[in-house]
Structure 1
Amino acid sequence: MSYAIETKKRKFDRLLESLTEGSSPSQQDDNPNNARNKVTASRHSSFDSLKRRRLAQSLGRSTSKSSLINNYLPSSRAAFLERLETYRHVTKWHVPSTVSINAAQWAKRGWICVDVDTVACGYCGERVTVDLDVSSRPVVGEDQDEETRQSGIQQDEAADDLEVEVYEALVNRYEEMITTSHSGTCSWRKRGCDASIQRIEGLLNGSTTVTATKARLQGIIEKIGDIPTVSDLPAYNDLPPPNLDNLQEAGDKNPLKLAMCGWQYKEPDVIECKHCLRSLGLWLYRGTSPTVENLDAVDSHLDYCPWRSAEAQDTEIVLPANGSNISKKIKLPGWALVYHAFLKQTVKRRSGGDAESWSTAQPDDDHALREQQTPEQRERRMKDLMRRIKEIKKPFNVKGLLNRKDTVRT
C-alpha cells in the first residue's frame, strides 16, 4: 500500500479519535495519580462550564433581536427558521445540502451557525466544528514517465475510493454528533423538532394557496421587469408534467413558474425563498452567454427545502391509481401541491363555479383528468357523490321529519 494512502488512513484515525474524545464522557484512570487527575478534571470541568456560560451570554448578545434561538422550542416553526437563517451565508457554512448533516438537520436539533462551519447550541452552550475535507494528495505530474504516471493514476484511484470511504464515515460520525454533542442535561439531546417542522402550511387549502401564489406573482411582475427564461416544471412521480397553458389565458409563464415554486421578490433583480432562505440574482441568467445556463424554479431550491422535497413538506394527498380501482396516497413537494390546487380550481370553475378567473383551463386538461380514472373509479366516485348529497338533504326532508314526529306522539 502506498505511503499516501497510509498517511490518509492515519489522518482519518486521528480525526475519528479527536471526534470521539470530544464527545465521549471522561473515563476513570486506574493509576496511583487518580486523585490528582480528578482534581485536574474538576478544574477543567469548571473551566468548561464557565466557557459555556460565556458562550451562551455572547450568543444572547448576538441574537438580542430575538430570544427564540436560545430557547428550547422544538415545535416552533418561527424558532426553527431563525436558526436555519444563521446558515444562509455561503462564506460561513460549506456543508452541502445534499448530505444527511445539512443545515436543516443541525437546526432541527437546536444548533445555530456561529462561525465558519462551526455550530453552537444556545441552550447548553456546546460547540461543534464540522470538517469534511478529506482531499490531501499531490497531483500526478505531466513530466513523469509513462510507468510512473500509470502507477500514480492507480494510486489516485485507490486514494479516491479511500476518500469516499473516509467521507462517508465522517458524515455518519457527525450525524450522531448532531444529537450526542449536546450536554447530558440539554433538552435538545432528548428530543429535536418534529418531521413536519419544515412543512408549508395551508397548501391543501386551494383558495389560500392560489391567493398566496397570486400575491407572489404580482410582486415579481410589478418589481422585476426582465425575467429570464425559466425551465419547464418537471414531472413528479407518476404525475404528468404540468401544462401551465391550461392554467392561464395569456402572458409570460416565467413569473408564474417562479411564483408557483415559492419564489418571491426580495430586492431589485433578486428573488428569495422564505423556507430554505436562498436568494437568486436574476442577472446571472440573462444575456447571450449567461453565467448560469438554466433557471430551474424547482432545483434552485436547496435539497431540504419543502418547495422541492416531498419529505420535508410531509403532506399527503389521495390520487387515483392508473389502471387500478385502488386510490393511493402520495407525498408531494410544495410546488406540486400548488399546481394541484390550481388544477382543482380550474376544473371547479369550468364546471359552474365562480365566473371570475385569472387562470383558465382548456378542454384537453379536463379530458386528461378523466383519462386518469377507470370506469369503475368514475362509477364509484359518482356513487359516493350521490351518497353525500343524500346525507346533506336529510335535515331538509319534511316528510321524514313529519313521520318522525308522528312516531314520537304514538
Structure 2
Amino acid sequence: MSYALASKKRKFHRVLESLSNNSNAPKPSPPKPIPKDPTVATPKSIDPTIKRVRLTPGSEPDDTIIRPSKSSLPSRSSTTSLRPNFVPWDRDRFLERLETFRRVDRWSPKPEAINEVQWAKRGWSCVDVMRVECVGGCGHSVVVKLPDDIEELEEYDSEKIEERKQVRTALVEEYVKLIVEGHGERCPWRRAGCDDSIHRLLLGKPENALKGLKERYTNLHSLAKKLPCIERIVLPQNMDMNELLKMIPPETFSTSDSESKIAGAEKETPQRTSGESEETPNEGTHKDINKSVLALALFGWDLCGDKRAGLASCNACFRRLGLWMYNPKEDGSSSIYPTLDVVVEHLDYCPWVNAKTQSGSEKQLSQRSPVGSALAGWEVLERVIRNVHRRKTWSADSEAGSAGNNDEISDLGEIDIEARKAKDREWWARLRRVRQALQVKGPKKSKGAA
C-alpha cells in the first residue's frame, strides 16, 4: 500500500470520528430566563452570549429584544392609512382646519386679510399659541403675532399711535404673503388653495335646508328649559317670527313631545261638539312649538356636546354660547347678559350672518345676482321656507280649481253627448228618406212568363 493512500484513509477516519463525537456530545442547556426587574433590564446590559443563544434554532425568543420591533409595527400601518392632505375642494376638511383656531388660548382675532379663514383655505392649522402649521403637508410653521392696537389708549401720543399703525399694516401685508409663501417649495398648498365659496352653506336645495333646520330644532329641543324666553332673544327687525312660523312645514317640528301632544289632540277630536271651533292640523302643531328653540335653529345654532353642559354652537364659525349666561341665576340675581342676539353672537365671517361669505367672491356674486343683493345664510333659509310654502299653496289652489273644472267639463260632456245623439238620429232619418226617394221600382213579371 502506498504512503499517499494510507494518509488519505487516516484523514477519512479522523473525519468520521469527529462527526460521531459531535453527535454524541451533550446538548447545551437552555439559557435561564432573564428576571424582569426594572433596575436590571436595558438592552445594552444584556450579556452577548445570550444574544448568540437567541440565534440558535432550539432557543426561545427573548421578550426584551422583540418588544421594540412589535411596537414599531403600528406606526408603519398608521402612516399608510393617513388621509390625503391636499384636498382643497373638500368642505369638511376645510372646516376641520378652521375648527383648530377655535380655542381662545391659542388664537386671537386677526384682521380680515389674515384671519383664520384665510389660513385654513391654504391648508394651515393652528397647533400652538399663535402658531400655524401645514399638518400632513410640508410641515412648515409660521408664528402669527401682531402688536396690540393702542388706538383707544389716551396715554400714548399721536405719533406713537401712528407708528404702531404703520408697523401693524406692514406686518399684515407680510403675513398675507406668508399664507402662500410660508409653504415649502414643493408643497401643493403653495400653488393652489380652497375656492372662495368653500365656506358657503349648502342651502340651495329646499329638502336639505329644511332637513338641517329639523335636525337643529330637534337637538336644541333638549335644551328648551335652559334657553332664555323668546322676549329675551333679539331677532333682526325685518324678520317676523309669527308669520314665518305659519309657513314652516309641520313635519319639521316632529319631536317626541310634539308628536305625543298631536296624538292626544287627535284622540280628543271626536269628543268635540258641533258648536266648538275646530283647529287646522297646522295651527294645532304650531301652538306646541318652542319659539326660543326655533329662533336659534333658524340662525344656525345647534346643540354642542352633552345637553347637560348647556352649550349651543355654530358648525360654520365654531362659536360657542353658554346658555346659563342669559338666564337669571338660581339665587334670583339677574343674568350676566340681559339679551341673546342670535346674529351678533356669530363671528363676523360666519356665512349665517355674512352675505359675502355665503355668496362667495365678488365675481361670483355679480354673476349670481346682477342687482347685487347678497343674502346671508339665515336670509336664504327664510326665502326657502317662503318659496316652499308658496308652492304648496299654489298646488293646493290648482288642485281645487282643477276639481271644479272637471265637474264643469263633465256636465258639458253630458250635454254634448245628448246633442250628438240627436244629430245622429236626424242624420239617419234624412238618409233613409233620400234612399226611399231614389229607389227605382222594377217592372212586374207577367204570369205567362212565370
Both proteins in one fold, TM over 0.5: yes
SS at match of 1:280: strand
Aligned to 1:200: 201
Match of 1:276 among 302, 317, 324: 317
Find the aligned partners of 2:104 and 2:180 in 1 and give their Cα distance.
24
Which 5+ residue runs of structure 2 have no aligned equivalent? 1-74, 246-285, 398-450
SS at match of 1:330: coil
Q: Give the letter aligned to residue 189 of structure 1.
A: R
Rate the CA distance shift 1:348–1:169 in 2: closer, same or farther, 3 A: same
Q: Deviations over 1:200-229 (max 9, x none)?
A: 22x122232123202211221234423114
Aligned to 2:244: 247
Find the aligned partners of 1:317 and 1:351 in 2 and give their Cα distance.
30
Q: Give the letter aligned to residue 207 of structure 1.
A: E
Q: Give the letter aligned to residue 130 of structure 2.
A: D
Find the aligned partners of 1:92 and 1:191 in 2 and give their Cα distance.
26
Rate the CA distance shift 1:135–1:299 in 2: closer, same or farther, 3 A: closer
Preserved contact between residue 234 and residue 339 of structure 2 (Cα < 8 Å): no
Matched, 1:290 2:335: yes
Rate the CA distance shift 1:353–1:108 in 2: closer, same or farther, 3 A: farther
Matched, 1:113 2:88: no
Equivalent residues in 2 for 1:222-233 (5 A)? Answer: 222-229=222-229, 231-233=233-235
Rate the CA distance shift 1:160–1:231 in 2: closer, same or farther, 3 A: farther
Find the aligned partners of 2:387 and 2:127 in 1 and give their Cα distance.
45
Aligned to 1:234: 236
Aligned pairs, number:
265
Preserved contact between residue 97 and residue 123 of structure 2 (Cα < 8 Å): yes
Match of 1:259 among 285, 288, 297: 297
Find the aligned partners of 1:263 and 1:278 in 2 and give their Cα distance.
9
Find the aligned partners of 1:297 and 1:279 in 2 and give their Cα distance.
12
Structure 1 length-normalised TM: 0.58
Aligned to 1:337: 380
Match of 2:139 among 113, 117, 125: 125
Aligned to 1:350: 393
Find the aligned partners of 2:196 and 2:365 in 1 and give their Cα distance.
17
Q: Deviations over 1:291-349 (max 9, x none)?
A: 2343121221212222122222226899xx9xxxxx83532121111111112223333
Q: Deviations over 1:74-111 (max 9, x none)?
A: 11112111111211111111134x53211111010011
Match of 2:358 among 313, 317, 329: 313
Matched, 1:163 2:146: no
Preserved contact between residue 80 and residue 108 of structure 1 (Cα < 8 Å): yes
Matched, 1:186 2:187: yes
SS at match of 1:247: helix
Find the aligned partners of 1:332 and 1:339 in 2 and give their Cα distance.
10
Find the aligned partners of 2:365 and 2:87 in 1 and give their Cα distance.
29
Rate the CA distance shift 1:261–1:135 in 2: closer, same or farther, 3 A: closer
Find the aligned partners of 2:334 and 2:171 in 1 and give their Cα distance.
39
Rate the CA distance shift 1:67–1:292 in 2: closer, same or farther, 3 A: farther
Equivalent residues in 2 for 1:41-190 (5 A)? Answer: 67-68=82-83, 71-96=85-110, 99-122=112-135, 123-134=137-148, 156-190=157-191
Find the aligned partners of 1:301 and 1:67 in 2 and give their Cα distance.
33
SS at match of 2:373: strand
Q: Give the letter aligned to residue 337 of structure 1.
A: V
Preserved contact between residue 88 and residue 278 of structure 1 (Cα < 8 Å): yes
Preserved contact between residue 317 and residue 332 of structure 1 (Cα < 8 Å): no
Q: Per-residue deviation at 1:199? A: 1.5
Find the aligned partners of 1:277 and 1:115 in 2 and give their Cα distance.
18
Rate the CA distance shift 1:194–1:135 in 2: closer, same or farther, 3 A: closer
Find the aligned partners of 1:207 and 1:242 in 2 and give their Cα distance.
22
Q: Per-residue deviation at 1:353? A: 4.1
SS at match of 2:226: coil
> Which has the larger helix fraction?
2
Q: How large is the Cα RMSD of the aligned pairs?
A: 3.2
Preserved contact between residue 209 and residue 381 of structure 2 (Cα < 8 Å): yes
Find the aligned partners of 1:291 and 1:162 in 2 and give their Cα distance.
38
SS at match of 2:227: coil
Aligned to 2:44: none
Q: Give the letter aligned to residue 346 of structure 1.
A: H
Find the aligned partners of 2:243 and 2:365 in 1 and give their Cα distance.
22
SS at match of 2:126: strand
Aligned to 1:219: 219
Find the aligned partners of 1:132 and 1:341 in 2 and give their Cα distance.
42
Which 5+ residue runs of structure 1 have no aligned equivalent? 1-59, 141-152, 236-240, 322-326, 355-410
**Rg comparison, structure with higher value:** 2
Find the aligned partners of 1:177 and 1:263 in 2 and give their Cα distance.
34
Find the aligned partners of 1:343 and 1:293 in 2 and give their Cα distance.
31
Q: Give the letter aligned to residue 124 of structure 2.
A: W
Find the aligned partners of 1:305 and 1:174 in 2 and give their Cα distance.
22
Q: Per-residue deviation at 1:129? A: 0.4
Instruction: Out of 158-167 and 332-341, give the one that drifted further.
Output: 158-167
Q: Per-residue deviation at 1:232? A: 3.8
Find the aligned partners of 1:317 and 1:133 in 2 and give their Cα distance.
34
Rate the CA distance shift 1:136–1:259 in 2: closer, same or farther, 3 A: closer
Q: Per-residue deviation at 1:169? A: 2.2
Preserved contact between residue 126 and residue 181 of structure 1 (Cα < 8 Å): yes
